A and B are shown apart, each in its own frame.
Chain A
């Protein structure tokens, strides 16, 4: 087993400016009233974690528990405030509509653009083109603009591109829940095949069905800390316990969605 991802005492601090100067006018008035209403907020607090090759690790937790921030730290989009993030191998993220994909471009154009952004060369993409189209079951629709796609078609294309990019680490944020049973089965097969070749997937989701289907290990996050880390069923049980605790004692629950505002 080889180490793929290693996080060591990672903290990610956001500076939540209550009223960030959004315009020059505000910035100028700031100069005169030197009162920065900043508030610091730690989205990830001292997380240490190791992920090996061949694993499918799921991150679960309530809204604002730091799952997505952690994923962005692994992707290299954020630099940790303190601590170290080590990643061995290439990383690719499944990209949502509106981010990397453009609705006015055709499926093929989007596929090329997306592949390039994930670090492939044009030649490499062209070599995988047919595989992507076949896997996504798009056929001739590949040359239609993306806005005419159904959400299922779109999701299939996004997944097909990401998995055919064949990174060492694939990051998936809440997307695999679309698609019919048949396609889901195909994805599952692709994922387990992917992992058997020594690759790694990190998966963020609230969908316990999807998690049970694909994950080999779960990490439960709460308030930016790891609460549990281990076998799937055990951690899910722990998570459900946590939610019931909150329901029973709403006063103890902190305002959720705090971090959600930021991402």
Chain B
């Protein structure tokens, strides 16, 4: 773990510049540019809200807020994963030329998506204002589940980016897993809308605790129980340790396979 902290610290300027590069490339040559970071969640939200509060009626008030409170962290996770999984293979040519800490690439993918996530809080604020949603002090609690989310995402990024070097199938599998995971996570619905006997299944989903933490704080104005806070942080730390451990084990051989 210390090794990771040192690597990030030593290469911070490079990581930041790589993250900026990713953001620049994502929005370059589009007429609306960075506005897309704001529009994208709003439009997704609009579609899902229409579907699930008009066509399929969930018994949830102000569904848009209910949805966006878990949708934003979910989008962060899924977007980061799609970028991170290619981060080593995509920079393969560079790895073969320059001696460089390999962890900078997945970390930069996470960092660029954190920036994107912070921008996507603006549409959240916008929705809250438009719907005249009452202010809750618990909003200030959001950084805690966010920390769990970032750690968890980084762990998965390390694991998948390294595995993708050896088996390019991983990038395809990640896309499928992400779309399945979306429906198995409490994003468009919440735990109590599930039939009792399937709830156990959701308890096995590490992301469920993190997403629920976001929703409790933003939508319900409640603080999660200490256990669930502990679980989401532990899940994050464990994922990061496993992912980084795997990454370190195989990174020496990346150059021969990319």
Residue numbers of A with Cβ under 8 A of B are: 14-15, 21-25, 27, 72, 75-79, 91, 93, 95-96, 98-100, 102, 104-105, 109, 112-113, 116-118, 121-122, 262-263
Contact assessment for B96 and A98 in the assembled complex, using a CB-CB cutoff below 8 Å = no
- Residue B97 contacts which of A15, A96, A262 (CB distance < 8 angstroms)? A96
Q: Which residues of chain B are near A72, meaning CB under 8 Å? A: 96-97, 255
Contact assessment for A99 and B94 in the assembled complex, using a CB-CB cutoff below 8 Å = yes
Contact assessment for B21 and A109 in the assembled complex, using a CB-CB cutoff below 8 Å = yes
A-B contact pairs, 20 of them (CB 8 A): A14-B256, A15-B256, A24-B173, A75-B97, A77-B255, A91-B99, A93-B98, A95-B94, A95-B97, A95-B98, A96-B97, A99-B97, A100-B97, A100-B98, A102-B21, A109-B24, A116-B14, A117-B94, A118-B98, A122-B13
- In the bound assembly, the distance between CA atoms of A263 and B92 in angstroms comes to 11
Interface of B is mostly: helix
Interface check B2, CB cutoff 8 A: no
Interface check B167, CB cutoff 8 A: yes
- In the bound assembly, the distance between CA atoms of A25 and B173 in angstroms comes to 12
* 14 more CB-based (< 8 A) A-B contacts, given A22-B168, A79-B252, A105-B25: A23-B168, A72-B96, A77-B97, A91-B99, A93-B97, A96-B93, A96-B97, A99-B94, A100-B97, A109-B24, A121-B13, A122-B13, A122-B17, A263-B96
Interface check B95, CB cutoff 8 A: yes
B204 nearest CB across to chain A (Å): 23
Interface residues of B in 215-258 (CB under 8 A from A): 252, 255-256
- Residue A77 contacts which of B13, B29, B95 (CB distance < 8 angstroms)? B95
Q: Which residues of chain B are near A102, meaning CB under 8 Å? A: 21, 25
Interface check B203, CB cutoff 8 A: no
Contact assessment for B167 and A105 in the assembled complex, using a CB-CB cutoff below 8 Å = no
- Residue B25 contacts which of A77, A99, A104, A112 (CB distance < 8 angstroms)? A104
Q: Which residue of B lies closest to A145 (CB)?
A: B28
Q: Which residues of chain B are near A262, meaning CB under 8 Å? A: 256
Interface residues of B in 1-34 (CB under 8 A from A): 13-14, 17-18, 21, 24-25, 28-29
Q: Which residue of B lies closest to A100 (CB)?
A: B94
Interface check B118, CB cutoff 8 A: no
Q: Which residues of chain B are near A95, meaning CB under 8 Å? A: 94, 97-98
Contact assessment for A77 and B21 in the assembled complex, using a CB-CB cutoff below 8 Å = no
The proximity string for B residues 150-190 relative to A, scoring 1 for CB distances below 8 Å and 0 otherwise, is: 00000000000000000111000100000000000000000
Q: Which residues of chain B are near A23, meaning CB under 8 Å? A: 167-169
Q: Is the interface on chain B under 10, 10 to 19, 20 to 34, or 35 or more residues?
A: 20 to 34
Q: Which residues of chain A are near B96, meaning CB under 8 Å? A: 72, 77, 99, 263
Interface check B39, CB cutoff 8 A: no
Q: Which residue of A lies closest to B252 (CB)?
A: A79
Q: Which residues of chain A are near B24, meaning CB under 8 Å? A: 104-105, 109
Q: Which residues of chain A are near B28, meaning CB under 8 Å? A: 104
Q: Which residue of A lies closest to B104 (CB)?
A: A117
- In the bound assembly, the distance between CA atoms of A38 and B17 in angstroms comes to 40
Interface check B100, CB cutoff 8 A: yes
10 pairs of A and B residues whose beta carbons are closest in the complex: A76-B99, A99-B93, A116-B14, A24-B169, A99-B94, A23-B169, A100-B94, A24-B167, A122-B13, A99-B97
Most chain A CB within a 10 A radius of its CB, from B28, B97, B100: B97
A227 nearest CB across to chain B (Å): 26
Q: Which residue of A lies closest to B20 (CB)?
A: A109
- In the bound assembly, the distance between CA atoms of A152 and B160 in angstroms comes to 39
B8 nearest CB across to chain A (Å): 14
A262 nearest CB across to chain B (Å): 8
Q: Which residues of chain B are near A77, meaning CB under 8 Å? A: 95-99, 255
- In the bound assembly, the distance between CA atoms of A60 and B29 in angstroms comes to 43
Known contacts A105-B21, A117-B14, A122-B13; is A75 also within 8 Å of B167 by CB? no
Most chain A CB within a 10 A radius of its CB, from B14, B24, B25, B28: B14
Q: Which residues of chain A are near B25, meaning CB under 8 Å? A: 102, 104-105
Q: Which residues of chain A are near B95, meaning CB under 8 Å? A: 77
